[in-house]
Structure 1
Amino acid sequence: MSSSALFGLELLIPTTTTLSSRHPYFYVGFAAFFPMTIKPHCSSCAAKCSTSISTCTPRRRRRLQNFRALVQPSSIASGTCVGKDEDHDDVEVTNGYTMTKFCDKMIEYFMQEKPQTKDWRKVLVFRDDWKKYRDSFFKRCQVRTDAERDPLMKKKLNLLARKIKKVDDEMEMNSCLLKEIQDNPLDLNAIVARRRKDFTGDFFHYLSLLSEAYDGLEDRDVMARIGAKCLSAVRVYDNTVEHLDTMEAAQSKFDDILNSSSLEVACEKINHLAKVKELDSSLILLINRAWTAAKESAKIKNEVKDIMYYIYTETRKALKNMAPPEIKLLKHLLNIVDPEERFSVLSTSFSPGDEHEMKDANAVYTTPKELHKWIKMMLDSYYLNKEETDLIEARQMSDPMVIQRLFILKETIEEEYLKEHKVTNEKEPEEID
């Protein structure tokens, strides 16, 4: 095990071991696909392929032999395509298997025994072992495709090769990203900033597969911690980018107000922003801080202070006049103790029903997007500027239980009603038809 420091914590990096010593699945179910012994094709390969089956432990050797006794060389294609290229790949790579027969067995395994991509990933996650046979495997797929007489089987072989190649490329990219993280643990934030698009759900699934592949609990814990640190770094990056975008938009609005030809025009702009509900917490924060800085500075002229005070007071008035129905709805939802009743009322507020139906005169109806906007504004006001916020409702939220309920409402709306907050992955066909 090697280690490095990451975020002030020790980050252990599991050392590379042989596949069969890391995952019991490969003792029984797929051991012959990644044998520990490869007889070299030439003398230059001898140094790389010196491991012998005799070095296996009795238990491991027995399991390998038991599997090989069950796995007999066979083919699922017509006889014309099998063995055509064996003259070039007739070197025995394991007991009773030449490279050609070995690749045929892999094709049979991927096509018949485990036709789903989720099972392929469990095999291809072991990059070093897979790379020993990758070129020969794809070459054999092409040979069999070219020689196959059955159009249906030809199509299946071609589809198998393309889908395996797609999964292989995906796993290789994830492997390279993980290696970069392990080689530069102190630069994780910089890696995330540079390669944010590569930190996908597939990458974290790859880390999960790799963690499951380790026998030792310590190695599994190490991989789990790497995944947790990556996820944390990604969230920090995304939140930072979102905050910067929000502040840039708020600064643009504030500059537009300051560039007004008169105080009356500035007041009209503030009221318009309030009317279209764009007087958000970031803009309010900028206005409050600008007024505070002007008030406390001895170098700023009184005329400038008067202007900033006018903008500040007009903003307060605009906020008080906004009185959105969503605030009334939120107060009602937050006062409901029973979670089931609270979510029922939430659902009803988004579904007023047919226009001809009788509606509750006291009920408030809105859209998920609009309510989510106000929840976010209240949370921003509460956390970013507790003392200065002009959103009275946010200032009054001092009960931790209320804050917790507000967070739960926000997450529920995002997960259940706002499609843009959901991560959708294109579902590819899982089986070779």
Structure 2
Amino acid sequence: MPTSSAVISSSAHITLPIPLPPRRRRLFGFSSSSYPHHAPNRRSLRIGGSVSARFRACYVSSYGECGAAVGDSGLEEDNVDDIQMVRVCDKLIEVFMVDKPSSTDWRRLLAFSKEWSSIRPCFFRRCQERADSEDDAEMKPKLLRLGRKLKEIDDDVQRHDELLELIKTSNDIGGIVGRRRKDFTREFFEHLHTVTESYHDNPDEQSDLMELGNTCLAAVQAYDISSENMEALDTAELKFQDIMNSPNLDVACKKIDSLAEKRQLDSALMLMLTKAWSGAKESNMMKDEVKDVLYHLYMTARGNLDQLVPKEIRILKHILTLEDPEEQMSALEDAFKPDEYSKGAVGSLNGDSLYTTPEQLFNWIRTVVDSYRFSREGSFIREARDLMDPSIIQKLVVLQKIIQNQFM
């Protein structure tokens, strides 16, 4: 999952570590006032537009016809007649076979429906009974497939409900995330969002669920960042020790070059090399030869790291340092114009041989701006993350318009 993210509450923006489809991106970025007055509650069923109005009407009418509408009619679930429940299940099976709801629609149906817990046992049993008695060779596997598919989804929803009840009653959500991180999936957060939607008629409960969603997302992100950082530091420590144990400076530099070629010269290793050089430089007890070696290693790593930055990002960073619009325009012209003294594939920009096309630079700006707008900076390349600043984004938007109007 393109990678997508979730924004929660107006005061906090947290990137969900698991990608989401576009229509589910803003999981908890809502208030109770944002819901339409006809939004569903726990006693009604209203699922997405991909399931026809006929499906919704049939579901509700089946209770009316059987006289067994649990909740709305006041009839207790335990008193629902078996024959009436079979009729309900048969009608639902017919609707499902015709309308073919998607997995997402089914998940929303089960999350919204308060009656499903009483229908569940009979429904799956009825699917099997009808399949066993079916003479039509084509219909029999369809009935079995319907029961099997919905059973898989129902099992998932029940697991999500179990986890939701657990975190509702816990004072240590971070501890639960640590033990059950794999259960906090995209589907779980979508389920939590759907359940939150269903409490339109209960603002207090809805608010509590929104807060719970915020807390869960924050705990998951904190856990993931901590895990990634620990793993990155452990890996960087091994690389650092390997470099420092080299027999001579040339071998050490070649190891750094090799890491750069493999794109394994990461920020954690660079931080260790920087700290080693900085500590040696300020020490009065270290020999100058050692300081020279550490400085050389630091500069070698720094040079390689700079080369890993896409040339378009380097061009953008240079242009953004220019305040004069005329200087910016001149820099753009230089970036788009091959240098006659070069081999024809590069241009000259601020002393570096850099060249790109208006289309490539425009696309990079669009990528950065879109990443900022959709709060996907956590998944963006690290070399461009320092561009993810509101003031810089505004400059990039202006620059994007200039490129589009003047060079494309």
Q: TM-score range by the shorter chain?
A: 0.5 to 0.7
Residue 141 (structure 2) aligned to one of 155, 164, 181? 155
Matched residue, 2:85: 99
- Superposition deviation, residue 207 in structure 1: 0.9
1:164 and 2:150 correspond: yes
Matched residue, 2:167: 181
Matched residue, 2:315: 332
- Report the 3-state secondary structure (helix = DSSP H, G, I; strand = E; otherwise coil) of the residue aligned with 2:242: helix
- Superposition deviation, residue 251 in structure 1: 1.1
Q: Matches of residues 6-405 of structure 1 in structure 2 within 5 Å?
A: 22-25=42-45, 29=57, 30=59, 60-61=72-73, 93=80, 98-112=84-98, 115-125=101-111, 129-184=115-170, 186-214=171-199, 215-274=201-260, 278-293=264-279, 302-303=286-287, 306-307=289-290, 310-320=293-303, 324=307, 326=309, 328-334=311-317, 335=319, 363-364=355-356, 375-377=381-383, 379=385, 401-402=391-392
Superimposed CA distance per residue, residues 66-95 of structure 1 (whole angstroms, 9 cap, x where no aligned partner): xxxxxxxxxxxxxxxxxxxxxxxxx9616x
Q: Which amino acid aligns with 1:203?
A: F
Superimposed CA distance per residue, residues 155-190 of structure 1 (whole angstroms, 9 cap, x where no aligned partner): 221121111111111111111111221121x32222
Superimposed CA distance per residue, residues 317-347 of structure 1 (whole angstroms, 9 cap, x where no aligned partner): 5524775284542132343799xxxxxx9xx
Q: In structure 1, how many angstroms separate the alpha carbons of the residues matched to 2:242 and 2:394?
A: 36
- Report the 3-state secondary structure (helix = DSSP H, G, I; strand = E; otherwise coil) of the residue aligned with 1:324: helix
* Percent identity (aligned): 34
- Superposition deviation, residue 245 in structure 1: 2.5
Q: Which amino acid aligns with 2:175?
A: A
Bigger-Rg structure (1/2):
1
8 A Cα contact 1:114 1:120, kept in partner: no
Q: In structure 2, how many angstroms separate the alpha carbons of the residues matched to 1:203 and 1:286?
A: 38
Q: In structure 2, how many angstroms separate the alpha carbons of the residues matched to 1:176 and 1:168?
A: 12
8 A Cα contact 1:125 1:210, kept in partner: yes
Q: In structure 1, how many angstroms separate the alpha carbons of the residues matched to 2:264 and 2:107?
A: 47
Q: In structure 2, how many angstroms separate the alpha carbons of the residues matched to 1:32 and 1:225?
A: 36
- Report the 3-state secondary structure (helix = DSSP H, G, I; strand = E; otherwise coil) of the residue aligned with 1:133: helix
Q: In structure 2, how many angstroms separate the alpha carbons of the residues matched to 1:205 and 1:245?
A: 29
- Report the 3-state secondary structure (helix = DSSP H, G, I; strand = E; otherwise coil) of the residue aligned with 2:80: strand
- Superposition deviation, residue 255 in structure 1: 0.2
Q: In structure 2, how many angstroms separate the alpha carbons of the residues matched to 1:321 and 1:164?
A: 54
- Report the 3-state secondary structure (helix = DSSP H, G, I; strand = E; otherwise coil) of the residue aligned with 1:22: coil
Q: Quickly say closer, same or farther: Cα 1:324–1:403, change in 2 above 3 A.
A: farther
Residue correspondences, number: 304
8 A Cα contact 1:38 1:93, kept in partner: no
- Report the 3-state secondary structure (helix = DSSP H, G, I; strand = E; otherwise coil) of the residue aligned with 1:261: coil
Q: Quickly say closer, same or farther: Cα 1:285–1:160, change in 2 above 3 A.
A: same
Q: Which amino acid aligns with 2:391?
A: M
Superimposed CA distance per residue, residues 90-143 of structure 1 (whole angstroms, 9 cap, x where no aligned partner): x9616x953332332332343346644333323322587423232222222211
Tell me the C-alpha RMSD between the 2 structures: 4.7
- Superposition deviation, residue 377 in structure 1: 4.2
Q: In structure 2, how many angstroms separate the alpha carbons of the residues matched to 1:34 and 1:210?
A: 23
Matched residue, 1:5: none
8 A Cα contact 1:281 1:377, kept in partner: no
Q: Which amino acid aligns with 1:147?
A: S
Superimposed CA distance per residue, residues 177-214 of structure 1 (whole angstroms, 9 cap, x where no aligned partner): 11221121x32222222222222221111112111211
Q: In structure 2, how many angstroms separate the alpha carbons of the residues matched to 1:399 and 1:134?
A: 51
* Unpaired stretches in structure 2, ≥5 consecutive residues: 1-39, 47-55, 326-331, 337-343, 349-354, 369-378, 397-408
Q: Quickly say closer, same or farther: Cα 1:254–1:108, change in 2 above 3 A.
A: same
Matched residue, 2:400: none
Matched residue, 2:11: none
Q: Quickly say closer, same or farther: Cα 1:159–1:266, change in 2 above 3 A.
A: closer
8 A Cα contact 2:312 2:356, kept in partner: yes
Superimposed CA distance per residue, residues 7-44 of structure 1 (whole angstroms, 9 cap, x where no aligned partner): xxxxxxxxxxxxx9734448x95457789x999xxxxx
Length-normalised TM-score, structure 2: 0.59
Q: Which amino acid aligns with 1:252?
A: L
Q: In structure 2, how many angstroms separate the alpha carbons of the residues matched to 1:195 and 1:135?
A: 28
Q: In structure 1, how many angstroms separate the alpha carbons of the residues matched to 2:134 and 2:254?
A: 77
8 A Cα contact 2:41 2:112, kept in partner: no
Matched residue, 1:424: none
Q: In structure 1, how many angstroms separate the alpha carbons of the residues matched to 2:182 and 2:388?
A: 38
Q: Which amino acid aligns with 2:213?
A: G
8 A Cα contact 1:122 1:209, kept in partner: yes
- Superposition deviation, residue 225 in structure 1: 2.3
